[in-house]
Structure 1
Amino acid sequence: MRHFHATHTVFGFGFTLRAVVFGLLLIYCLTPWASPPIALALGLALAQTLGNPFARQTKLATAKLLQYSVIGLGFGMNAHAAVQAGKTGIVFTVVSILGTLVLGYVAGRWLGLTRHVTHLISCGTAICGGSAIAAVGPVLRAKDEEMSVALGTVFVLNAIALFAFPPIGRALAMTQSQFGLWCAIAIHDTSSVVGAATAYGDQALQVATTVKLARALWIIPVSIVTALIFKQKGVKIKIPYFILGFVAAMLINTFVPAAKPVGPVLVGAAKIGLTVTLFFIGAGLSGKVLKTVGARPFVLGLLLWAVISTASLYVILHTV
């Protein structure tokens, strides 16, 4: 293993073998043979064995790449269908967000967790995973270790959901709309929502992306309420502006005929970007990150996820 970390020099250029492995895996993720679940699995395998040689760079690139990929997916969406999907998901969104936050508060006290860790994990589960935690954390003035625990918990459960949801959906013979709605409500991060829905079908992808991004807008009111409850003054609310880019792309695709030929190209590039994003996320889940989580925060995250997944699945199968 030490051999992979040693620096080798060829033609005056220094490199490590683990950097070469990283590069080969990244190139594979750019090909048509890669899929979001495979990319995540490759990243996880790299993180647990050789480690990520570009951890700082991939961490910085992940958020931007995800945002640009989501905007690109907008060029494959129809505004009329999105409005209909949004109407279907609004009730589920409101009920599930409020229910998750209340249950998280009660369960967090029962587990003896701090208010900050409890609130961060609850917001991540209720709204949109790492993005919600990244937005609410500064409002709470949360410590780095509290942020790490919450993010680690959510990312581990995201990885599980990305692999587990498509087989469950097929086993239950869920329709494309049902599965897309379930993904948007029950999976934390936008990246894993889109990844799971992509594996299920194009219609599921459209429903999942639309409902999830509408759900992500709840970051704003939840951040404001957080500042009031935790009595934090002078904090800056982080607004997910990239959602406006997604809406703009969707409107262009729907109402500008001249943009139609470009749409499939941009959507294809966005799907590749999403695959690479999930590879980066997997590569960031090192053993150190997993150890940071601890048992009780993970139990809270697992409990909230289990409740929202099963409850939303039952309601969707019987009402949609």
Structure 2
Amino acid sequence: MWKKNLFYIGIIVSASGLIGPPLALAAGLAFGLSTVHTFHGESRCLSKFLLQAAVVCLGFGMNLKEVVHAGASGFMYTAISITFALCLGVALGKLLQVGKTQSLLISFGTAICGGSAIAAMGPVLNANEEEMAVSLGTVFVLNSVALLLFPLIGHLMNFSQTQFGLWSALAIHDTSSVVGAGAKYGPTALAVGTTVKLARALWIVPLAIATAMLKKSKAKVAWPWFILYFCFAAVAASYLPRYMPQMVPLFSALNRLGRAALTVVLFLIGTGITRETLKEVGVRPMVQGITLWIVVASLSLWAIHVGWISL
């Protein structure tokens, strides 16, 4: 009972605004690594729903022109980044003798959008539960490290908010940690990071369909509808206040609600990383994931620093 109470207290404190996203993640990690809770499946489902709802609510604080500009510019960069990450990930998997399915799942998770990409590609690749668990564990661990580490690196590099938002979108696995790192860095970093990351997430659908055709799989590919709802929210926030000024307080409240929900999501993600999860991952998949992530993050960091990639 005390574990469940502690879990609920963590959710309440995260939602209250008393702690920020990085601290919420750290609290979740402390809970997950120090105790065993039997409702991690429910918390994972809740975190997925809350993440999508939080992204939509954050759209009410976005400017449509910024969203369109960042999305259009970022689409080309994400295409190059995804192609490179997939090719390098497959090569590393073969070199380290990681199972083919695990290697592909880790590569897709790093290249596109972490757990969402793995969840979408798992049925297409006929992955079993163990392969899914190992791949998700690898990505979630690195994803948590990125949220805590990236803002520090961004400040050391003297990155502007636009530069940091672009880098986090290209180099951090999950949307939740991109949004969390962007929120920590500043409002412009949040807007750029979220938009470019969602443009990157759109690649799930064509790549899943192409993989299904190659594998002759009949698995159903889920379309990430929350991205469309995010765009609708940005349209509403950009144009409705001109004709209905009374909507401004509502949009501001929804935006704050999205930030609070995101903090809860990061706490839930942290609780899902347990000692058992780390044991399941194993050495080779983790080495593949770490190496691939470091190369992608370092190259994108360097390209942004020298001005090769910009918005």
TM-score, scaled to structure 1 = 0.93
Question: Which deviates the most, 18-27 or 152-161?
Answer: 18-27
Counterparts of residues 239-250 of structure 1 (less than 5 Å) = 239-250=223-234
Equivalent-residue separation in structure 1 for 2:47 and 2:302 (angstroms) = 33
Cα shift at 1:318? 1.6
Equivalent-residue separation in structure 1 for 2:26 and 2:217 (angstroms) = 42
Q: Which residue of structure 2 aligns with residue 109 of structure 1?
A: 94
Q: 2:245 matched to 1:260?
A: no
1:240-261 CA-to-partner distances (Å, cap 9, x unmatched) read: 1111110110111111112322
Q: Which residue of structure 2 aligns with residue 31 of structure 1?
A: 16
Q: 2:80 matched to 1:92?
A: no
For the 8 Å contact 1:100–1:122, the answer to whether it is kept is: yes
Q: 2:42 matched to 1:66?
A: no
Q: Which residue of structure 2 aligns with residue 187 of structure 1?
A: 172
Equivalent-residue separation in structure 1 for 2:150 and 2:217 (angstroms) = 40
Distance 1:318 1:61, change over 3 A: same
1:27-83 CA-to-partner distances (Å, cap 9, x unmatched) read: 211222211111111111011112335323212211101000000000001110111
Alignment match of 2:27 (pick from 42, 48, 56): 42
1:252-297 CA-to-partner distances (Å, cap 9, x unmatched) read: 1111112322111001000010000111110111111111100000
Letter in 2 for 1:104: G
Q: Which residue of structure 2 aligns with residue 141 of structure 1?
A: 126
Equivalent-residue separation in structure 1 for 2:36 and 2:29 (angstroms) = 9
Structure 2 residue matching 1:107: 3-state secondary structure: helix
Letter in 2 for 1:271: R
Q: Which residue of structure 1 aligns with residue 221 of structure 2?
A: 237
**Structure 1 alignment gaps of length 5 or more:** 1-15
Letter in 1 for 2:163: Q
For the 8 Å contact 1:19–1:53, the answer to whether it is kept is: no
For the 8 Å contact 2:60–2:254, the answer to whether it is kept is: yes
Q: 2:300 matched to 1:315?
A: no
Q: Which residue of structure 1 aligns with residue 197 of structure 2?
A: 212
1:142-175 CA-to-partner distances (Å, cap 9, x unmatched) read: 1111111110000000010000000110111100
Counterparts of residues 123-134 of structure 1 (less than 5 Å) = 123-134=108-119
Structure 2 residue matching 1:30: 3-state secondary structure: helix
Alignment match of 1:275 (pick from 246, 260, 263): 263
Deviating 4+ runs (over 4 angstroms)? none
Q: 2:188 matched to 1:203?
A: yes
Question: Which deviates the most, 19-28 or 156-165?
Answer: 19-28
Equivalent-residue separation in structure 1 for 2:69 and 2:228 (angstroms) = 18
Distance 1:274 1:242, change over 3 A: same
Letter in 2 for 1:44: L
Question: Which deviates the most, 80-89 or 265-274?
Answer: 80-89
Q: 2:36 matched to 1:51?
A: yes
Q: Which residue of structure 2 aligns with residue 151 of structure 1?
A: 136
**Structure 2 alignment gaps of length 5 or more:** none
Equivalent-residue separation in structure 2 for 1:93 and 1:233 (angstroms) = 26
Equivalent-residue separation in structure 2 for 1:54 and 1:145 (angstroms) = 18
Q: Which residue of structure 2 aligns with residue 301 of structure 1?
A: 289
How many residues align structurally?
A: 304
For the 8 Å contact 1:72–1:246, the answer to whether it is kept is: yes
Cα shift at 1:136? 0.6
Q: Percent identity?
A: 47
Equivalent-residue separation in structure 2 for 1:233 and 1:183 (angstroms) = 33
1:107-142 CA-to-partner distances (Å, cap 9, x unmatched) read: 111111122111100000000000000001111111
Question: Which deviates the most, 45-54 or 283-292?
Answer: 45-54
Equivalent-residue separation in structure 1 for 2:72 and 2:225 (angstroms) = 21
Structure 1 residue matching 2:13: 3-state secondary structure: helix
Q: Which residue of structure 2 aligns with residue 292 of structure 1?
A: 280
Equivalent-residue separation in structure 2 for 1:253 and 1:114 (angstroms) = 46
For the 8 Å contact 2:212–2:218, the answer to whether it is kept is: no
